[in-house]
Amino acid sequence: MQRPRVLVVALGGTIAMTVDQTGRVTPSLTAQQLVDAVPGLADAGLDIDVLSFRSQPGASLTIADIIELYGEITRRLGGGLTGVVITQGTDTIEETAYLLDLLHPGPQPIVVTGAMRNPTQAGADGPANLLAAIRVAASPAARDLGCLVVLADDIHAARRVRKSHSTSVATFVSPNGGPLGHLVEGSAIIVNRLPGRHTLPAPRDRLPRIGLYTATLGDDGSMMEGVARAVDGLVVAGFGVGHVPEPWLPALTTVGARIPVVLTSRTGSGPVLAGTYGFPGSESDLLGRGMIPAGLLDPYKARILLMLALAAGRDHEQISAAFAAAGGLGPVTDWP
Ligand code: ASP
């Protein structure tokens, strides 16, 4: 039987950081160096290809970097890879993983991982996370699940995963539904599946500019209006189930007539609702003014979906259907 072949791509991040002359850590390790540092990998019965694609902190990766990376991955998947592992800064995994998930229609798993402790620290988690990610990428159990995030032996769906703590090694969680599975004695065990898998084409030209604006106590809406003027689409992270201050309404109504405005919750988990509250600025008021509910999709992922949907030329109705499907509260079959 042919051995599984996994491509490991390095983008930088804490997992690849070493101490510089100032005594602080910066990204420097290559994909080969990361692979060489994993105990037991040589005996795992796998073939590993490596690619050092970027050497950046997570904060400096761009949407264009990930789109370019996906183009490279697509070319290499044609050569018979079982799966792909991407190592990167954990700061932006929530977004890069969901972007890859939306771009990737194929059966091979794309698994994103990183580390919270850099390689110079006691108990560095990079090697264990990389080994776990490689095992998931090589596993038949992970086929057809799109893009996954693997850290601390948990397997998360890109659509759900959140970074929930700034330093804990157990930072990655899936608050809306839980992880898809776990590593048990080195094997990927899937205990949970998402309904539907949704993809959109990679943008070819200019990326739409999508603003993300968070509702805060007493905000009169003028800054939101300023942001909206500079963008092609806006995600609002509202209070609770999708509420904004009443003084926003005239401006938000005007903005919503010009560009798509997607309503999410700033709480970090749970859905925006549709028809429970009836006061001015409530979720039902905002949806009545044409805002698009994101369901269970968090603000950061909603921004990525809106960007790809606009880049693909989807209209207001199609974008609403996409959010209903991806947000988990509407028919998964209506994906445009
Ligand atoms: N703390 C981050 C990490 O875990 C830094 C980064 O995102 O580059 O990698």
Q: Which tens digit of pLDDT belongs to each residue from 170-225?
A: 999 999 999 999 999 999 999 999 988 999 999 998 999 999 999 999 999 999 99
Domain count for the chain: 2
Are 181 and 221 found together in one domain?
no
Residue 214: CATH number of its domain: 3.40.50.40
pLDDT at 140: 97
pLDDT at 211: 98
Q: Give the C-alpha separation, 314 to 320, whole Å.
A: 10
Is 204 within a domain? no
Q: Give the C-alpha separation, 177 to 173, whole Å.
A: 10
3-state SS, residue 261 = strand
> Counting atoms of ligand 1 from 1, which one is nearest the CA of 166?
1
For residues 39 and 126, the answer to whether their CB atoms sit within 8 Å is: no
> Counting atoms of ligand 1 from 1, which one is nearest the CA of 91?
7
Are 256 and 118 found together in one domain?
no
Are 169 and 280 found together in one domain?
no
Catalytic residue among 14, 90, 92, 113: 14
Residue nearest (by alpha carbon) to ligand 1 atom 6? 89
Q: What share of the chain is helix, strand, coil (3-state, %, to 5)?
A: 35, 20, 45
HSE of 331, CA atoms in CB hemisphere, 13 A: 6
Give how far Cα 7 sits from Cα of 73, 83, 89, 301, Å. Answer: 9, 7, 18, 25
pLDDT at 336: 80
Residue 19: CATH number of its domain: 3.40.50.1170
Residue nearest (by alpha carbon) to ligand 1 atom 4? 90
Q: Give the C-alpha separation, 99 to 110, whole Å.
A: 11
Residue 14 annotated as catalytic: yes
Mean pLDDT, rounded, of the chain: 97
Strand partners for 51: 9
Q: 6-27: per-residue pLDDT in tens?
A: 999 999 999 999 999 999 999 9
Q: 120-151: per-residue pLDDT in tens?
A: 999 999 999 999 999 999 999 999 999 999 99
pLDDT band for position 279 (cuts 50, 70, 90): very high
DSSP category for residue 172: E
| Domain limits for position 296 | 210-334
Q: Percentage of the chain surpassing pLDDT 70?
A: 100
pLDDT band for position 161 (cuts 50, 70, 90): very high
Are 176 and 278 found together in one domain?
no
Is 199 within a domain? no
The residue type of 336 is P
> Counting atoms of ligand 1 from 1, which one is nearest the CA of 59?
7
pLDDT at 75: 96
Ligand 1 center to residue 216 CA distance, Å?
27
pLDDT at 1: 72
Q: Average pLDDT, stretch 106-132?
A: 98
The token duo for 63 is: 């949407």
Q: How many CB atoms lie within 10 A of CB 258?
A: 11
Residue that is last in its domain, among 190, 224, 254: 190
pLDDT at 126: 98
Q: Average pLDDT, stretch 144-172?
A: 98
Are 143 and 233 found together in one domain?
no
Residue 334 has pLDDT above 80, yes or no: no
Are 163 and 60 found together in one domain?
yes
